[in-house]
Amino acid sequence: MLGDMAKKVQVRFLPDDKTIEVDKGTDILDAAIEADIYIDSICGGRGKCGKCRVIVQAGDVTAEKTELLEPGEIKKGYHLACLTKAEGDVEVLVPEESRVGLLQILMKADVVEAEKLDPPIVKFYFELSEPTLTDNLSDLDRLKRSLSDHGIEDIMGPLPVMRRMSNLFRKSEWDVTATVVEDGECHELVHLQGGDTSARNFGMAVDVGTTTVVAELVNLSSGEIVAKEAAYNKQVIHGEDVLTRILHAEEEKGGLKNLRMLIVETINYLLKEMMDEAGVRRNEICYAAAAGNTVMTHLLQVAAWMSPPAFSMLPRTRLRNRGGRSSRN
């Protein structure tokens, strides 16, 4: 236990007055990432751009030699964050010129009135009739009979949903809400709930930009935008442009997984902020749609199992345009 504690060091960032505990030998740029402090690093932490200048005010560090710092800057304590490792507790000043500039994130958009709401996922509330000796349809067929009144003649039921169906129907006294998603000509039953939850049907729309991410939470039953949030794309710490992130994905060990984790963290942060603002629970969000350039969408939806070299081949075409989905259980 004592040995494990000795391997940890604290890095304090000023003027933010944020302190983060990291492994001994962690570079200052990575420590800043963990502290949610955005230091400019166009090259993605390769020591080539010289943008990540910081001043080490106290503590024990080791730094690689670089020609990007003038002798006068070195005397003042300047280091490149990506080439400087914390060997003990360290106090670091991040100058204003080294920070990712504050951007005015576009939050306003023209709202176009739709003639008819036609969301891809719909909740139907049914007061199903109880089985009798003369009406002894299976539970699934009983639900299908009610869905046919809404023009849904055939529907697929995933195993996790089917496993819950019988007990849920009886526990809720046959008053249920079925969540159905339409995919082309196919309908899929993705969720079942007891009682009437049809009015609580929300979707999330996300614009995944290279620098910023904007998200909206929409009531799919009314079309009302109930919350909107924006934040920096956390991937910016590995480069401000797409090409630098491609290099990070291809050349750094675990780079692809790391980039995907960062965009997922960004979206999850926005989602939590919107849920708190609108008073929406996670299980009431039934659908999500994301848009972005080819690399951004790849990093979000398929990076976990896609081969990195596909990023470098021109033209950069998407592996697929539609994301996957998983049934709730």
Tens digits of per-residue pLDDT, 182-196? 877 788 999 999 999
What integer pLDDT is reported at residue 2 of this predicted model? 47
Q: What topology is assigned to 121-194 in CATH? A: Ubiquitin-like (UB roll) (3.10.20)
Average pLDDT over residues 43-66: 90
pLDDT digits (tens, 9 = 90+) for 66-116: 999 999 999 999 999 999 999 999 999 999 988 876 555 556 656 666 677
- Given its phi and psi angles, is residue 17 left (phi above 0), alpha (psi -120 to 50 degrees) or beta? left
CATH fold of the domain at 202-312: Nucleotidyltransferase; domain 5 (3.30.420)
Identify the CATH number of the domain defined by range 2-98: 3.10.20.30
Per-residue pLDDT, 248: 83
* Beta sheet of 121-127, edge-to-edge order: 121-127, 175-183, 186-194
Domain boundaries, the chain: 2-98, 121-194, 202-312
Quick check: 265 pLDDT over 60? yes
The yes-or-no verdict on residue 63 having pLDDT over 70 is yes
How far apart CA 47 and CA 131 sit, in angstroms, is 71
Closest CA to 129 of 165, 166, 169, 162: 169
- pLDDT value at 5 more than 70: no
Which residue has better confidence, 251 or 278? 278
> Is the pLDDT at 327 greater than 50, yes or no?
no
Fold: same for 2-98 and 121-194? yes
CA distance 80 to 88: 17
